[in-house]
A and B are shown apart, each in its own frame.
Chain A
Amino acid sequence: MASVSIRNVRKSYGPVEIIKGVSIDIQDGEFVILVGPSGCGKSTLLRMIAGLEEISGGTVAIDDRVVNDMPPKDRDIAMVFQNYALYPHMTIADNMSFALRLKNTAKSEITAKVERAAGILGLGPLLDRFPRQLSGGQRQRVAMGRAIVRDPKVFLFDEPLSNLDAKLRVQMRTEIKEMHQRLKTTTVYVTHDQIEAMTMADKIVVMHDGIIEQIGAPLDLYDHPANMFVAGFIGSPAMNFIPGSIGGDGFTTEDGSRLPLGGRVPAASDGRPAVYGVRPEHFRLADEGLAAEVVVVEPTGSETQMVLRPLGTKAGREDRKRELTWVLRERTGARPGEVVRIAPDPALAHLFNPDTGLRL
């Protein structure tokens, strides 16, 4: 087990810089998830920790030892790949013991370790099979088993669940979390799925365009997003953004409706343009507030999602982004075309600077 320290790391391919100075501290035993849209550099960063990509600038240290120039085999890490990367010509047992056999570990020790890992993951009966005879979920477990057997300093996961169907994904999420709670191995996990990040991580690193937007515990990011990108990325359905300006003790939308700020008016900001952010579940029906027409009603059973179009906006493509999402816990008899009035909970609303995207 070990800590991982990433200091001002950069990566460029020729003139294109895809990681632009990133620093993360990962404590011993922590489960850290790198999350972001595709192309944000999260996988590249993981591969740099693994030693599969060279580091253009900055340092990566495992247990306070800089590993920039150390080939992967000397870093004492284990990695679970997106497509599992199981050796097709080896049995499951041989797949799991490959690393140990390379190190000439004693046979008895190998058997013991493989059996222990197989026990943890329920792979016992499959040890003599070949990868092609296994289902997707089983392959995923073997890939994890291969990592566990190594007993490495750090586990790296590269979008390990993206090839599984939705149901299996939820199940494997739990299994990975359980495994981590049991083994307490430092883990760095890459995903583009913010739900995976929210449910599994001790600490989430949100990346975008090669930089870190915010680092924090899952609920911290949810409750206190540092900027519009994080606010929009974390949470599903995404946060509603309403452009307008701050004035008096409230917020005026572009079409003149007033939204409450609950006395949290930033100083010296009268008349200043801003973006009002409110999560879909933080609206409620109100006598005053935004008047909006119901466009779509989507009941999911446990809750109801509604897409609303504020009055005064047209149905064209341009105004699609003005539409609001509202999530209700209860069922509703609202039908498309009806007009409802909703108001946000001012205590849970956010204000952002429209130019920088930063939280006000």
Chain B
Amino acid sequence: MSRPLRKLLDKAGMAVCVLLLVSPALLFFLWMLSLSLKFEIDNGAYPPILIPERFAWKNYTTILEGNSFLLYFWNSLIVTGAATLFALLVGVPAGYGIARMRAHKSAVVIMIARMTPGLSFLIPLFLLFQWLGLLGTLWPQIIIHLVVTVPIVIWIMIGYFETTPMELEEAAMVDGATRWQIFAKVALPIAKPGIVVAFILSVIFSWNNFVFGIVLASRETRTLPVAVYNMLSFEQVSWGPLAAAALVVTLPVLILTVAAQRQIVAGLTAGAVKGG
């Protein structure tokens, strides 16, 4: 076989391979979209219909109108926003301190925290929140989401601050900066990409969190994942609105994933490779 032809075949083979690998994800989300846009009768059809003749836009208007969907959306926004901002506030300086003190041992605590199942934090904290009388407010969820967001932020920031050269900070020291000035004017601006990564991952993992909500949320304090799950168990199961709700819940995350793909990949692999 001639070389160029062989190269072309190699390329084509690879392309087919990748398409094959991408198709499970692609087809799944297409099917999700399809389910969410079909009337009940189309969703019950056999053989299944991918593109219906009439789009059931009302699936979306139904969920947005009823079920206090907007309230839950707002709850999710508050919980994720507060837990992420607070995590950045304490986690970024902590990552800096740990990296500069070369206190790698302390990072082990963070690692174990990331390994611990969320449920095992829930029992004691649930009792604590009950005792403090916080159940029924959003506070328990905001606080317990810190279990997820703080370790992520610290972990990623340690990695970032370790790669910023010490020489820069020494230069700032010689230039007359105090440690706070060095942090605020040199270390922090340089670590901005790292902060973006930490922010994105923290938002995604907090937004997606489900287990804390099913225990701690009351009717008024549900976040979106819990609300969607409750649609399944407590109301008449109709696929169209359910799929629509599922899609709405995960859509912000999917958009973020595609838009900030590079940061997410960087954050996950940096954390992963160091995480060993």
Contact = CB atoms under 8 A, between A and B. Distances in A.
Q: Quick check: do A and B touch in the complex, using CB within 8 A?
A: yes
Contacts of B168: 85, 87-88
**Interface size class for chain B?**
10 to 19
Given A73-B178, A74-B176, 9 more contacts: A51-B173, A51-B174, A52-B170, A75-B174, A81-B170, A83-B165, A87-B172, A102-B177, A156-B174
Contact of A52 (B165, B173, B175, B190): B173
B176 A89 contact: no
A150 B174 CA distance: 10
A81 B167 contact: yes
B181 A85 contact: no
B233 to A, nearest CB: 51
Contacts of A88: 168, 190
B168 to A, nearest CB: 5
A73 B190 contact: no
B275 interface: no
Contacts of B186: 87
Contact of A73 (B165, B176, B192): B176
B76 to A, nearest CB: 34
Contact of A77 (B165, B174, B178, B192): B174
A99 interface: yes
Interface in A60-94: 71-75, 77-79, 81-83, 85, 87-89
A114 interface: no
B172 A98 contact: yes
A261 interface: no
A161 to B, nearest CB: 16
Contacts of A321: none
A73 B177 contact: yes
Interface of B: 165, 167-168, 170-178, 181, 185-186, 189-190, 192
A81 B168 CA distance: 9
A51 B172 CA distance: 12
B167 A72 contact: no
A169 B44 CA distance: 78
Which of A71, A73, A88, A103 lies at the interface centre, i.e. has the most chain B CB atoms within 10 A of its CB? Answer: A73
Contact of A72 (B165, B173, B181, B190): B173
A201 interface: no
A88 to B, nearest CB: 6
A88 B167 CA distance: 12
Contacts of B176: 73-74, 99, 102-103
A50 B190 contact: no
A85 B171 contact: yes
Contacts of A89: 189-190, 192
Nearest to A143: B171
Given A52-B170, A79-B171, A98-B172, A85 B165 contact: yes
A85 B173 contact: no
